[in-house]
Structure 1
Amino acid sequence: MTVYSPITCEGGNPEALLVKPCDELTDGCCELVIIRYTLDQYWLDRSPELSLIAYYHLAREHGTIVIHFAVAEASQGMSLLDVSIPSDPWDAFQYVAQQLSLPVFSAHQPIPLISVNIAKPWGQEVWFTGIEQRGVAGAGSANQQSPLPHVLSALPGKLCGNRHRHLILLKILDPLPEEIFGDLYFELHQEKREVYVVTHVDPLAWPGGEGAIRFGFCAKKRQGFSSDKEFRQAFLSAVSDYEITRREIDQLIDRQRSLAGLGDNEPVDADQLKAWLSLVPMDLTREELKKRQYMESFTDSLPLSVGDVIKVPCLTPHSLQHGVRTIEFQTPVYERLIVSFAQKVLTQQHWDTEEAVKLMLLEQQSPEAHMPILVEPGLDIQRIVDFEDFEVRRVSLDSGTSMSINSPESYGVLMAIDHGIVIDGSLAEPESALLLPGSCHLLVLTNSSPKTACFLLAFPK
């Protein structure tokens, strides 16, 4: 049995302290290195520091360094260092991970991402790489997981090319299946680029199997005005007029929230909202509907079916509609201008209509053709979006077909869509996601299902 002493990292990047022990390892040998360091929690107000402790098992096999690691908060992990643990480095590493219930990761294999659900007035978002004050995604398994930023901080260079603070944001948009209650904000972005891949259209909400996204503006309506300036002003007036009625209704609903002991900005489920809305005077309800329909007459909609891809350009107002579930990859910045919303906005006290109307694009955007990367029997790889800061590929594998993925330049993010995708012998469930480290070894993916199966790959630039 042995007592291990941790190394203290002064600079906040423990990876730098692994260079020397890795260089000194001879072939067939291994070592346990324990490093205590401070993480700047950049996603929280004032970025408070957190003391972490990382356990690294280093081994040199046939000239190659293999790294396994686990991370704990120092307040938890330091307790084991006062007692004797197995002297064999691998046994000691396993013992620590087991005693602290820590997931074990490899720098050379995919890292399973654990989602966090974020409640929205229109449903929920499911974050896989989100790191914000509103929620932090995890890594590991349902039974053993660590916060994703803790994991990335242990090997930021090897895992993601030191881009750990700016990962491509992968999430699922899961709106309620009811009109109005499940319609997203009509909003635009100045910097954030988004791409949606439709995975489900609720058959009760859309019996024909085709959902929708409100997207840009109606060309015919626009032609009815003498100038774009006049169109913008008319749209701004329509939204402003609707907002007056919207806020009047919201104030009545807020009284019901108060009676129920809820805060003005606490989310409530759709059934409760409908019950409260039934108490709104009928003439006000009719007024809201009339003004909303006129406001929405300025906008356009695109049909959406399962498998469709929607690229959302900057400055294009858009609103995914109820009952249309999508996978979304986006630039990891939080910025938006809310043009309008048919419910109360809970996250801010105002709409951004006036500013948005000045910036918004009016021209209809033609969908871009997908770029074939590799098409051969059993395998089809298409680049479905090519933004300035990242790209997304859709890969289709026929039954029984395999392909390999080389180590990405910095990192990659993989999302399984269909059943049957096996990654290095492990089955990936639909809508499960993996981080592919830049130091990842060659991966082999196979479709074990009897049908064609798809998955998505995103890479930063």
Structure 2
Amino acid sequence: MKPECKIVEIDHSNPEKIVDQELELLLASGQSALILVVHYPFEQYWLEHKPVVKLSAFYCLMAETGEMTFTVSESAVDLTASLQALDFAGTDDPESFAQWCAERSLPLLSPQHPLPLNSLNIPKPWGQEIWYTGIEQRGVAAVGSGRCQIWLPYALSALPQRLCAGQQRTLILLKILDPLPEEVLGDLYFELHQEKREVYVVTHVDKTAWPGGEGGIKFGFNQLKRSNFASDSAFREGFTLAVKRYEACRRQIDSLIDTFRAEDGYGLNEPVSAQKLSSWLSKVPKQLASEERALRQEMDAFTDTLPLRIGDVVKVPCLTPHSLQHGVRTVEFQTPVYERLILSFAQKVLTQGHWDTESAVALMDLEAVEPDPHVPLFNSAAVTVERIVDFDQFQVQRVSLEPTGEYTLPETEDYGLLMAIEPGLLLMDSILSPEQAVLLPSKLSDVTLVNTSPEIISFLLAYPN
């Protein structure tokens, strides 16, 4: 029997209320399925003026199995009309709801299955960030696969409680930091955070940059140098002076680079390749370049460097200045707080016209940071689970599987994020590639992961606290 196709237009931004109502009616009606279309306004809250667009959520509700699938699109009359004409004959029918979605390049999603997160590359002067849950004016992450993708906030708006317990605007941020392998050019900002909580997990150390396999992160301050000052106040003053001297030289070089940018047709704040930047730097007078190196070394002598190898975890405390170094690729989980104070940077900052040295120096923590021990949660011959960080806002677990090892996830409470690290992780009926990630919907259960490779592999899990 062809199911009813019901169309509802609402003036609020939560179509899930309509889904709940229609699901209850469906179960009481004796019908086997319902196609539901809800048109609703949606605020693009990540943009400056928060414009409102009209979205359409399309749902297929199955009474007997309880299965629910859906997709979302910016409203289009032809989509609704074609759905009304759909000859629905079950999930295996070529004219089924799934086929209808695929033919229109719309992802078929379900609150009863993990949602595949698509990566979005964001160029940075030091390399790139790869976003999985980022929702900002600079870019918006998506869900789906291949050509069938929609923006993550659009998908979450269709079923916010079922997918993420209503936390769609405060998702844990999952990204990869991918610095260039070139020394200096691939070093991140030396910065601190007042509120943002973040943790890095090292997944790759570039062998050309670090032949011994040990990279690093500038992390806090050199305690021996600190002890040579009469007081911490004097140390702060000495560091500030070193940074200011370096900044003056840095500005001269950046001014020269800006002229080269203009000559070659690049915007003054446009990210460029390391090769292009290196070609411009080669034109800097040798005396000025030599002065820059000397002043940078003088400034860096105040800082400490933490060695990093693949698998290492760095929990970054608030107020501790840090700078991931070139060629060290990491997975990062962080709170969705967009704030930082830049103490220094060995190239031009493209996103703001100033450094925040004086403000940061007044706040920065000078104490050495001792790493927190990982907390074992489960251990067997085939599976090891450890909590590698536990902030007030979220926690991250690392699961390691021996060959053929299996691990069944506990039922998700609010939502979860999962990322594969090595190849061979089987999730339901798909093998995840390294750095492939999914969102685990609220109340998801009975999900078992299997190691199909001949090596030990691991994956990361993040949950809100």
Under a length normalisation based on structure 2, what TM-score does the superposition of the two structures give? 0.96
Letter in 2 for 1:101: S
**Could you tell me which residue of structure 2 aligns to residue 18 of structure 1?**
19
Letter in 2 for 1:69: F
Task: Identify unmatched segments of 5+ residues in structure 2.
Answer: none
Aligned to 1:268, the other structure's residue is in SS state: coil
Preserved contact between residue 31 and residue 89 of structure 1 (Cα < 8 Å): no
Instruction: Supply the distance in 1 between the matched residues of 2:417 and 2:332 (Cα, whole angstroms).
Output: 12
Letter in 2 for 1:331: T
Letter in 2 for 1:20: Q
Letter in 2 for 1:336: R
Aligned to 1:6, the other structure's residue is in SS state: strand
Instruction: Supply the distance in 2 between the matched residues of 1:170 and 1:360 (Cα, whole angstroms).
Output: 26
Instruction: Supply the distance in 2 between the matched residues of 1:367 and 1:251 (Cα, whole angstroms).
Output: 40
- 1:342-388, Cα deviation, whole Å (9 max, x unpaired): 00000000000000000000001000100001111111000000001
Deviation at 1:93, TM superposition (A): 2.4
**Could you tell me which residue of structure 2 aligns to residue 324 of structure 1?**
328
- 1:80 equivalenced with 2:84 (yes/no): no
**Could you tell me which residue of structure 2 aligns to residue 306 of structure 1?**
310
1:372 paired residue among 363, 371, 376: 376
Aligned to 2:67, the other structure's residue is in SS state: strand
**Could you tell me which residue of structure 2 aligns to residue 442 of structure 1?**
446
Deviation at 1:21, TM superposition (A): 1.6
Aligned to 1:106, the other structure's residue is in SS state: coil
Q: For residues 389-408 of structure 1, what are the structure 2 equivalents within 5 Å?
A: 389-408=393-412
Deviation at 1:407, TM superposition (A): 2.5
Instruction: Supply the distance in 2 between the matched residues of 1:3 and 1:57 (Cα, whole angstroms).
Output: 10
Q: 1:392 to 1:256 in 2, by over 3 A?
A: same
Aligned to 1:205, the other structure's residue is in SS state: coil
Percent identity of the aligned residues?
51
- 1:130 equivalenced with 2:116 (yes/no): no
Preserved contact between residue 109 and residue 441 of structure 1 (Cα < 8 Å): no
Letter in 1 for 2:249: T
Q: 1:429 to 1:82 in 2, by over 3 A?
A: closer
Which segment drifts farther, 92-101 or 238-247? 92-101
- 1:354 equivalenced with 2:358 (yes/no): yes
1:148 paired residue among 149, 152, 161: 152
Preserved contact between residue 53 and residue 77 of structure 1 (Cα < 8 Å): no
**Could you tell me which residue of structure 1 aligns to residue 425 of structure 2?**
421
Deviation at 1:2, TM superposition (A): 8.7
- 1:264-321, Cα deviation, whole Å (9 max, x unpaired): 1011111111111111111111111111100000000000000000100011000000
Instruction: Supply the distance in 2 between the matched residues of 1:134 and 1:401 (Cα, whole angstroms).
Output: 40
Instruction: Supply the distance in 1 between the matched residues of 2:144 and 2:87 (Cα, whole angstroms).
Output: 24
**Could you tell me which residue of structure 2 aligns to residue 184 of structure 1?**
188
**Could you tell me which residue of structure 2 aligns to residue 204 of structure 1?**
208
**Could you tell me which residue of structure 2 aligns to residue 68 of structure 1?**
69
Deviation at 1:8, TM superposition (A): 0.6
Letter in 1 for 2:121: N
Under a length normalisation based on structure 1, what TM-score does the superposition of the two structures give? 0.96
Preserved contact between residue 3 and residue 81 of structure 1 (Cα < 8 Å): no
Deviation at 1:400, TM superposition (A): 0.6
Aligned to 2:276, the other structure's residue is in SS state: helix
Q: 1:171 to 1:275 in 2, by over 3 A?
A: same
Preserved contact between residue 134 and residue 174 of structure 2 (Cα < 8 Å): yes
Which segment drifts farther, 67-76 or 201-210? 67-76
Instruction: Supply the distance in 2 between the matched residues of 1:174 and 1:22 (Cα, whole angstroms).
Output: 45
- 1:223 equivalenced with 2:224 (yes/no): no
The count of aligned residue pairs is: 459
**Could you tell me which residue of structure 2 aligns to residue 195 of structure 1?**
199
Instruction: Supply the distance in 1 between the matched residues of 2:4 and 2:410 (Cα, whole angstroms).
Output: 39
- 1:277 equivalenced with 2:281 (yes/no): yes
Which segment drifts farther, 289-298 or 401-410? 401-410
Letter in 2 for 1:31: L
- 1:54 equivalenced with 2:54 (yes/no): no
Aligned to 1:39, the other structure's residue is in SS state: strand
- 1:214 equivalenced with 2:214 (yes/no): no
Instruction: Supply the distance in 2 between the matched residues of 1:52 and 1:185 (Cα, whole angstroms).
Output: 39
**Could you tell me which residue of structure 1 aligns to residue 240 of structure 2?**
236
Preserved contact between residue 29 and residue 59 of structure 1 (Cα < 8 Å): yes
**Could you tell me which residue of structure 1 aligns to residue 33 of structure 2?**
30
Instruction: Supply the distance in 2 between the matched residues of 1:94 and 1:316 (Cα, whole angstroms).
Output: 49
Instruction: Supply the distance in 2 between the matched residues of 1:341 and 1:52 (Cα, whole angstroms).
Output: 42
Instruction: Supply the distance in 2 between the matched residues of 1:407 and 1:114 (Cα, whole angstroms).
Output: 24
- 1:291 equivalenced with 2:292 (yes/no): no
- 1:367-416, Cα deviation, whole Å (9 max, x unpaired): 01000011111110000000010000000011111111133111000000
Preserved contact between residue 407 and residue 437 of structure 1 (Cα < 8 Å): no
